[in-house]
């Protein structure tokens, strides 16, 4: 078993609290992503798991063993960093064989050969084994760096932004490769990235962090569709969710979200969800934030139903099939995603309607989600 457990883990660098009371469990054989903006404590967390950084408080377990005091080389992990350093004067084969030659366990030459060839085959770099790093492309070099990590077949892989520096096309390619690789090897993977698309597309589960604090731990679907707060809602999704300040008010059973541009009535289901999260309007209207993803607006040239509201097209960005449309409404500019077939241009008046089963609502003060 190679689950990884963090119990109330803290990392302090002097006065800086880089990781704050982090508890999470990465399951055996799971592809687990640590996601968050730069400086949120991802690398510190990973380095503590690897043993490269002391744990200030709390404990980390690999399998059932507390590893706080276990040397990195005895943790049965392999780590791949963004800045992989291959030995320039060694061939690809020698680079990949290196961890087997210097490790604690000794391997015979034929075992080393088997393992290197097996890893090279998985990574499709068999034909490059006699080359030197400078004779490879960036993506090929990165695969060698990953190969060097997998030859030992460790219990856990730790990867810190391993593909962040690659160009966009190669990054997309490597996303698929890494996900495939993890399923083929069937080992536990903890993968750090600041790129929400990487996390959403590769992970079984995502732990999303901000300012050293775990915000939400869940499947990509849960993170995307049931974000627990405004930070998570805004961090995941591209273009990001629109946030619109509104007032929530009730007159009898008639609950409405209002602002300068629109009135949206709340269905009984939404009211029940709001109340289920201790939402309470008994002491009068409440300041809230409505969240609508760009793809969750219906946009038309003419007024739709009585809840649709007008705006003006600020700019359109056709992207092949989809089109991103910026629309100004009083006090706000919204980003919408629609079909490129919609005939609208800059300056046009359009009508918008939020898809009610897709909207989110946040407490403006605490930024916590009601739904
Ligand atoms: N060795 C260090 N000494 C002091 N502060 C550090 C050190 N390493 C990281 N930090 C600080 O800890 C915080 C978290 O850093 P890090 O874990 O590298 O975040 P991330 O990987 O998410 O970008 C940041 O504020 C960073 O400046
Ligand atoms: Mg980092």
Give the residue extent of every domain in the chain.
4-235, 242-301+308-363
CA dihedral 282, 288, 294, 295 (to 10 degrees): -10
Nearest Cα neighbor of 308 from 252, 262, 356, 370 is 262
Residue with CA nearest ligand 1 atom 7: 13
> Nearest bound ligand to CA 38?
1
Beta carbons within 8 Å of 72's beta carbon, 6+ residues apart: 50, 51, 52
User: Cβ atoms within 10 A of the Cβ of 73, count?
Assistant: 11
Domain covering 242-301+308-363 assigned CATH 1.10.3720.10 in the classification: no
Each residue's pLDDT tens digit, 180-228: 989 988 999 999 999 999 999 999 999 999 999 999 999 999 999 999 9
139 pLDDT band, cuts 50/70/90, is confident
Does residue 81 have a pLDDT over 80? no
> How many angstroms is it from 39 CA to the middle of ligand 1?
6
Atom of ligand 1 nearest to the CA of 42: 22
* Overall residue count recorded for the chain in this entry: 371
For 9, 91, 327, 347, the CA distances from 135, given in Å and listed in that order, are 43, 10, 49, 53
Beta carbons within 8 Å of 118's beta carbon, 6+ residues apart: none
> How many angstroms is it from 315 CA to the middle of ligand 2?
35
171 pLDDT band, cuts 50/70/90, is confident
140 pLDDT band, cuts 50/70/90, is confident
Fold for the domain defined by 4-235: Rossmann fold (3.40.50)
Stretch 2-30: mean pLDDT = 97
pLDDT on residue 1: 65
CA–CA gap between residue 218 and residue 25 (Å, rounded) = 11
Residue with CA nearest ligand 1 atom 21: 43
Residue of 274 and 174 predicted with greater confidence: 274
Across the strands, what pairs with 69?
Answer: none
Stretch 66-70: mean pLDDT = 96
Atom of ligand 1 nearest to the CA of 45: 17
Atom of ligand 1 nearest to the CA of 41: 17
> Nearest bound ligand to CA 40?
1
Task: Give CA 341 to chain center in angstroms.
Answer: 31
Q: What percent of the chain has pLDDT over 70?
A: 99
> How many angstroms is it from 177 CA to the middle of ligand 1?
29
pLDDT on residue 169: 85
Nearest Cα neighbor of 187 from 5, 24, 32 is 32
Nearest Cα neighbor of 66 from 51, 44, 45, 47 is 51
* Highest averaged pLDDT of the listed ranges 84-88, 146-150, 249-253, 367-371: 367-371
Q: Which of 22, 40, 44 to mutate to test the pocket of ligand 1 (most atoms within 8 A of CB)?
A: 44
> Nearest bound ligand to CA 19?
1
Q: Which of 12, 15, 18, 208 to mutate to test the pocket of ligand 1 (most atoms within 8 A of CB)?
A: 18
Q: Which residues contact ligand 1 via a Cβ below 6 A?
A: 13, 16, 18, 36, 38-44
Instruction: Extract the tokens encoding 216.
Output: 């939400």
> How many angstroms is it from 47 CA to the middle of ligand 1?
11
Task: Give CA 86 to chain center in angstroms.
Answer: 28
Residue with CA nearest ligand 1 atom 16: 41
* Candidate from 60-69, 129-138, 168-177, 233-242 with smallest mean pLDDT: 168-177
> How many angstroms is it from 43 CA to the middle of ligand 2?
4
> Nearest bound ligand to CA 56?
1
Does residue 242 have a pLDDT over 70? yes
């Amino acid at each position: 078993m190679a689950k990884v457990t963090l119990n109330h883990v803290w990392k302090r660098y002097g006065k800086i609290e880089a990781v704050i009371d982090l508890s999470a469990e990465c399951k055996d054989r799971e592809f687990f992503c640590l996601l968050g903006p730069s400086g949120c404590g991802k690398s510190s967390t990973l380095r503590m798991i690897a043993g490269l950084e002391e744990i200030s408080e709390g404990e980390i377990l690999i399998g059932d063993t507390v590893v706080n005091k276990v040397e990195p080389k005895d943790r049965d992990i392999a780590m791949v960093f963004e800045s992989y350093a291959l030995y320039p004067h060694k061939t690809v084969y020698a680079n990949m064989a290196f961890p087997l030659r210097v490790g604690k366990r000794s391997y015979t030459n034929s075992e080393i050969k088997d393992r290197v060839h097996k890893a090279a085959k998985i990574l499709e770099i068999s034909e490059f084994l006699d080359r030197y790093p400078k004779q490879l492309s960036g993506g090929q070099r990165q695969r060698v760096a990953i190969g060097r990590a997998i030859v030992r077949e460790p219990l856990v892989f730790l990867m810190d932004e391993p593909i962040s520096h690659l160009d966009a096309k190669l990054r997309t390619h490597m996303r698929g490769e890494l996900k495939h690789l993890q399923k083929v090897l069937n080992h536990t993977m903890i993968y750090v990235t600041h790129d929400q698309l990487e996390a959403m597309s590769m992970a079984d589960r995502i732990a999303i962090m901000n300012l050293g604090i775990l915000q939400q731990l869940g499947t990509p679907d849960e993170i995307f569709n049931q974000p627990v707060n405004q930070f998570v809602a805004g961090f995941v999704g591209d273009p990001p969710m629109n946030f619109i300040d509104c007032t929530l008010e009730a007159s009898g059973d008639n609950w409405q979200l209002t602002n300068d541009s629109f009135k949206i009535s709340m269905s009984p289901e939404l009211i029940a969800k709001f109340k289920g999260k201790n939402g309470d309007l008994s002491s009068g209207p409440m300041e809230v934030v409505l969240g609508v993803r760009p793809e969750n607006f219906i946009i038309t040239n003419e007024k739709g139903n009585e809840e649709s509201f007008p705006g003006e097209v600020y700019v359109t960005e056709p992207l092949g099939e989809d089109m991103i449309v910026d629309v100004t409404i009083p006090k706000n500019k919204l980003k919408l995603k629609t079909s490129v077939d919609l005939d609208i241009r800059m300056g046009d008046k359009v009508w918008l309607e939020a898809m009610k089963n897709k909207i989110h609502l946040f407490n403006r003060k605490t930024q916590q989600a009601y739904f």
